């Protein structure tokens, strides 16, 4: 029984890692620009469909996946930068609800655009060779691809941590999270910083989309499911806090996966019970600060 | 160096500054004094572009800057120390300085650590965990490492202990001795009269008095009533 729970928890962990990669981008954008970016799920979905197309074009499943991994996140980051520069920047001084409406409009536009380009069929992306098998943990099989997801999630977490704590760009982002107006008065071009952060966040959503494509379904609708969970993650972890997003995503992934084992009908509810508990007990999030 | 001509600033519908003229010459220490809420902070914020003027001109060495965003004004050579300090609470002292550092003048991290040894001692501590006095030192140091030609300082001694106030006042005198051009907003007439080259007194958003230190000392009986509530 313990083995089963452990394997299930690992499976939840791998799912949580994809969620973390996506949510880390959302939390960076939210924390820095104070924009609740509904279009974040669209970046994820766009990358998943791009992965399908690139993989199909390349043909070979290993090279196809690697090509998608190299191409889709930068493309989506570019789309994000264009959206920030072309649309969001123009209404940056308006009340927040306008930005909400705009990002929501973008989700509708992207969803319809994808429907026009790719149609509404379910697509699947094959796992790369070497990652399609299973490894054995405690005499139980565990998919190699999911093990790789856990590893990649850890690498991204470490990479983002280093970016935010060791580079001037990262330190400036953290300063902007704390006080955007002040960092501007110190000579930082906040507009350009925002475009950079938005592109980085969109790229992370794109990376999540590529990573999820071989395990989840590539279909319309995955944008809204991921955005709801991502918002739950960043609220649990604390808005603007990348390590908080890691904890929140792992928590949601594991609670969901282990919950299914015991009370299958309530599995989805567990996520929101955890969310409510955090909101009631620690409204600023687990690693968030009172502001 | 800096010339503000007939600037008018609004916060929404509220008219805060009325035709304010302020001049700061190269190497001068100019004090802007007045009671709470007469527009001293707003005046500095307007110069910095944080509270942009509605009408009027602000020129830095002859170049009009009033329509520029704050970061361009900062890069043009104006440094701003806000009254509410606004250290980046999550960043360490060192990081607070690093994000503001601009290597085009005498000030760098090493130099401000010499000016404020306490900051060096707490360089790895988060800004939010410092005392009020240390935060004020950090805010000033953070602006200095940007090597501004003109330094705007908003009520640096507000709410601090007498000992810290003395340290800061000595530091400001030291900056003046080094030839740093400054525009300082303060409520304290005593300190202003001891260091300022020129004193402006604001009252309800207007310049009520302007004179050099000798003049202001002679006119003290005219200035006092403007400052009393």
Residue A137 lies in a domain: yes
**B-chain residue closest to A287, CA distance:** B90
Is the pLDDT at B229 greater than 80, yes or no?
A: no
Looking at per-residue confidence, does A188 or A177 come out higher? A188
What is the Cα–Cα distance from B150 to B59, expressed in whole angstroms? 12
Torsion A99-A83-A103-A164 (CA) sign: negative
Residue B144 lies in a domain: yes
* Residue that is last in its domain, among B148, B169, B197: B148
The answer to whether residues B183 and B24 touch, using CB atoms and an 8 Å cutoff, is yes
Residue A8 lies in a domain: yes
Least trusted range by pLDDT, from A2-6, B94-98, B122-126, B136-140: A2-6
- Sort out which chain A residues have CB atoms less than 8 A from B151's CB and list them: none
Residue B164 lies in a domain: no
- Segment B79-96, tens digit of pLDDT: 999 998 899 999 999 999
Q: Which domain holds residue B124?
A: 78-148
- Segment B26-79, tens digit of pLDDT: 999 999 999 988 999 999 999 999 999 999 999 999 999 999 999 999 999 999
Inter-chain touch A175–B88, beta carbons under 8 Å? yes
The pLDDT of residue A57 is: 95
Residue B94 lies in a domain: yes
Structural domains counted in chain B:
2
What is the Cα–Cα distance from A212 to A17, expressed in whole angstroms? 10
Q: Which residues of B touch A (CB under 8 A)?
A: 48-50, 69-71, 73-75, 80, 82, 86, 88-91, 95-96, 98-100, 102, 142-143, 146
CATH of the domain at B4: 3.40.50.300
ipTM of the complex: 0.91
- With bands split at pLDDT 50, 70 and 90, how would you rate the model's confidence at A290? low
Is the pLDDT at A33 greater than 80, yes or no?
A: yes
- Sort out which chain B residues have CB atoms less than 8 A from A178's CB and list them: 88-91
Residue A60 lies in a domain: yes
Torsion B139-B142-B143-B144 (CA) sign: positive
Q: Mean pLDDT throughout A66-83?
A: 97
Q: Are residues B128 and B188 in the same domain?
A: no
Closest by Cα among B135, B138, B154, B142 to B46 = B154
- With bands split at pLDDT 50, 70 and 90, how would you rate the model's confidence at A284? confident
Residue A289 lies in a domain: no
Residue B174 lies in a domain: no
Which residues, including other chains, have CB under 8 Å from residue B221's CB and lie 6 or more apart? none
Least trusted range by pLDDT, from A260-269, B154-163, B165-174: A260-269
Residue A290 lies in a domain: no
Is the pLDDT at A147 greater than 60, yes or no?
A: yes
Q: Are residues B86 and B63 in the same domain?
A: no
Q: Are residues B63 and B83 in the same domain?
A: no
Is the pLDDT at B8 greater than 80, yes or no?
A: yes
CATH of the domain at A121: 1.10.3470
Inter-chain touch B100–A187, beta carbons under 8 Å? yes
Residue B129 lies in a domain: yes
- Sort out which chain B residues have CB atoms less than 8 A from A188's CB and list them: 71, 99
Work out the end-to-end distance of chain A between its first and last CA atoms, rounded to an integer number of angstroms: 44
What is the Cα–Cα distance from B137 to B120, expressed in whole angstroms? 11
A96 touches B: beta carbon within 8 Å: no
- With bands split at pLDDT 50, 70 and 90, how would you rate the model's confidence at A95? confident
Inter-chain touch B99–A168, beta carbons under 8 Å? yes
Residue A286 lies in a domain: no
Structural domains counted in chain A:
1
- With bands split at pLDDT 50, 70 and 90, how would you rate the model's confidence at A128? very high
**A-chain residue closest to B142, CA distance:** A186
Report which secondary-structure segment, H or E, holds B16: strand B14-24
- Segment B127-168, tens digit of pLDDT: 999 999 999 999 999 999 999 999 999 999 988 999 999 999
Inter-chain touch A171–B91, beta carbons under 8 Å? yes
The answer to whether residues A45 and A209 touch, using CB atoms and an 8 Å cutoff, is yes
**Which residues pair with residue B202 across a beta bridge?**
B207
The pLDDT of residue A274 is: 84
SS3 B102: coil
Q: Are residues B102 and B117 in the same domain?
A: yes
Report which secondary-structure segment, H or E, holds B161: none
Q: Mean pLDDT throughout A112-135?
A: 93
* Residue that is last in its domain, among B98, B125, B148: B148
Residue A164 lies in a domain: yes
Residue B28 lies in a domain: yes
Q: Which domain holds residue A32?
A: 2-281
Best of A182, A241, A288 to substitute, by most chain B Cβ atoms within 10 angstroms, is: A182
Return the percentage of chain A with pLDDT > 90, whole number.
Answer: 77
Best of B100, B112, B152 to substitute, by most chain A Cβ atoms within 10 angstroms, is: B100
Inter-chain touch A185–B100, beta carbons under 8 Å? no
Q: Mean pLDDT throughout A238-262?
A: 91
Residue B165 lies in a domain: no
Q: Mean pLDDT throughout A257-265?
A: 88
Inter-chain touch B90–A179, beta carbons under 8 Å? no
Residue A223 lies in a domain: yes
Residue B99 lies in a domain: yes
């Amino acid at each position: 029984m313990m083995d089963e729970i452990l394997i299930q928890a690992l499976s939840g962990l791998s799912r949580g890692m994809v969620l973390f990669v996506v949510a880390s981008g959302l939390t960076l954008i939210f924390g820095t620009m104070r924009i609740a970016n509904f279009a974040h799920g669209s970046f994820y979905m766009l990358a998943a469909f791009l992965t399908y197309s690139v993989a199909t074009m390349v043909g070979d499943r290993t090279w196809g996946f690697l090509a998608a991994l190299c191409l889709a996140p930068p493309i989506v980051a570019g789309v994000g930068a264009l959206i920030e520069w072309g649309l969001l920047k123009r209404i940056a001084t308006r009340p927040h609800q306008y930005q909400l409406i705009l990002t929501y409009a973008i989700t509708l536009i992207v969803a319809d655009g994808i429907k026009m380009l790719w149609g509404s069929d379910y697509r699947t992306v094959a796992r790369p060779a070497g990652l399609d098998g299973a490894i054995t943990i405690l005499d139980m099989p565990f998919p190699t691809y999911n093990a790789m997801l856990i590893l990649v999630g850890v690498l991204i977490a470490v990479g983002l941590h280093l970016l935010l704590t060791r580079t001037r760009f990262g330190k400036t982002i953290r300063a902007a999270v704390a006080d955007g107006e002040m960092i501007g008065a110190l000579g930082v071009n906040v507009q350009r910083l925002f475009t950079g952060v938005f592109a980085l966040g969109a790229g992370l959503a794109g990376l999540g989309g590529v990573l999820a494509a071989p395990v989840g379904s590539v279909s319309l609708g995955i944008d809204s499911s991921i955005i709801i969970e991502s918002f739950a993650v960043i609220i649990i972890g604390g808005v603007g806090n990348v390590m908080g997003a890691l904890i929140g995503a792992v928590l949601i992934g594991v609670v969901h996966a282990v919950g299914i084992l015991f009370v299958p009908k309530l599995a989805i509810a567990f996520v929101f019970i955890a969310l409510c508990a955090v909101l009631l007990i620690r409204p600023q999030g687990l690693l968030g600060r009172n502001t | 160096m800096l010339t503000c001509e007939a600037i008018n600033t609004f916060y929404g519908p509220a008219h805060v500054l009325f035709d304010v003229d302020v001049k700061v010459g190269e190497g001068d220490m100019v004090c802007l004094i007045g009671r709470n809420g007469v527009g001293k902070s707003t005046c500095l914020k307007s110069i910095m572009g944080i509270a942009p003027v509605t009408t009027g001109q602000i020129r830095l060495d002859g170049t009009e800057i009033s329509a520029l965003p704050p970061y361009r004004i900062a890069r043009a050579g104006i440094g701003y120390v806000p009254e509410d300090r606004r250290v980046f609470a999550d960043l360490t002292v060192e990081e607070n300085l690093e994000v503001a550092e601009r290597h085009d003048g005498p000030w760098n991290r090493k130099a401000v650590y010499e000016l404020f040894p306490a900051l060096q001692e707490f360089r790895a501590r988060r800004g939010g965990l410092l005392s009020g006095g240390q935060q004020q030192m950090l805010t000033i140091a953070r602006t200095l490492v940007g090597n501004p030609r003109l330094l705007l300082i908003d009520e640096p001694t507000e709410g601090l202990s007498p000992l810290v106030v003395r340290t800061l006042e000595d530091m400001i005198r030291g900056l003046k001795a080094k030839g740093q051009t400054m525009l300082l907003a303060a409520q304290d007439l005593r300190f202003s009269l001891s260091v300022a080259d020129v004193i402006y007194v604001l009252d309800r958003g207007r310049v009520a008095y302007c004179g050099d230190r000798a003049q202001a000392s002679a006119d003290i009986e005219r200035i006092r009533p403007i400052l009393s509530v």
